[in-house]
């Protein structure tokens, strides 16, 4: 019997890692944040790899790491990076795996922007932006480009004005 994998996708600050961690505890599944997994393998940060080797190298390694995790015969929750589903044929690939359930944590631009403003310095993609308006514009453009991929998920859960615990509980109920 194939093992179930729950793959969380969505924009940065949508709550993928926090929800994944809670799912790990409530379902007793192994949890991996894909960026953290890569950083552990490389013994450096994703930001450093982007700077030193470039985005194309990062995206290739990210895909290989995802394939590796999906091949492990253990129930698992995997939190993808915000761009992961948008490169190569990743969404199509995930949809072909009958032991994988994809879940888009859909969050509105205003909510994402507020969360990102608070964590701006720890987010290299937006560290250079000035003020909430620039962050909203940046996020809005990215979401417009990425929604095509995100909306292919098996399930969509809206996260606005919900706690991480509520979103996790919704997901557990949805998958039961």
The pLDDT tens digits of the residues spanning 77-96 come to 999 999 999 999 999 999 99
Tell me whether residue 145 is in a domain.
no
Report pLDDT for 3.
Answer: 58
**Beta strand spans in 10-158 (E):** 30-33, 76-79, 100-106, 155-158
Give the C-alpha separation, 32 to 155, whole Å. Answer: 19
Tell me whether residue 16 is in a domain.
yes
Domain count, the chain: 1
Report percent pLDDT > 70 for the chain: 98
The tokens for 97 are: 């795996």
Determine which helix (DSSP H) or strand (DSSP E) holds 4, and give its type and residue range: none
Phi, psi of 10 (to 5 degrees): 155, 175
Q: Which domain holds residue 88?
A: 5-106+153-159
Tell me whether residue 39 is in a domain.
yes
Tell me whether residue 98 is in a domain.
yes
Tell me whether residue 21 is in a domain.
yes
Report pLDDT for 126.
Answer: 85
| pLDDT band, residue 2 (cuts 50/70/90) | low
Q: Is the pLDDT of residue 164 over 70?
A: yes
Tell me whether residue 102 is in a domain.
yes
What SS3 state is found at 107? coil
Domain containing residue 47: CATH number: 3.40.50.300
Give the C-alpha separation, 103 to 141, whole Å. Answer: 21
Tell me whether residue 130 is in a domain.
no
Tell me whether residue 11 is in a domain.
yes
- Which pLDDT tens digit goes with each residue over 26-73? 898 999 999 999 999 999 988 888 788 988 898 999 999 999 999 999
Of the candidates 33, 35, 38, which has an alpha carbon nearest to the alpha carbon of residue 23?
33
Q: Is the pLDDT of residue 15 over 70?
A: yes
- Which pLDDT tens digit goes with each residue over 102-151? 999 999 999 999 999 988 777 777 878 999 999 999 999 999 999 999 99
């Amino acid at each position: 019997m194939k093992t179930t994998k729950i793959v969380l996708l969505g924009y940065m600050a949508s709550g993928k890692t926090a929800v994944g961690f809670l799912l790990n505890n409530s379902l007793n599944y192994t949890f991996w944040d894909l960026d953290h997994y890569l950083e552990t393998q490389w013994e450096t940060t994703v930001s450093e790899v982007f700077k030193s080797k470039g985005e194309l190298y990062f995206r290739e390694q990210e895909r290989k790491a995802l394939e590796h995790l999906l091949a492990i015969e253990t129930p698992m929750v995997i939190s993808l990076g915000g761009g992961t589903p948008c490169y190569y044929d990743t969404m199509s690939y995930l949809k072909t795996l009958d032991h994988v359930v994809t879940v888009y944590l859909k969050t509105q631009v205003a909510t994402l922007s507020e969360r990102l403003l608070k964590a701006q310095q720890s987010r290299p993609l937006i560290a250079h932006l000035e003020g909430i308006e620039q962050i909203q514009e940046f996020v809005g453009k990215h979401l417009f480009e990425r929604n095509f991929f995100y909306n292919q998920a098996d399930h969509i859960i809206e996260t606005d004005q919900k706690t991480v615990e509520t979103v996790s509980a919704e997901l557990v109920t949805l998958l039961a």
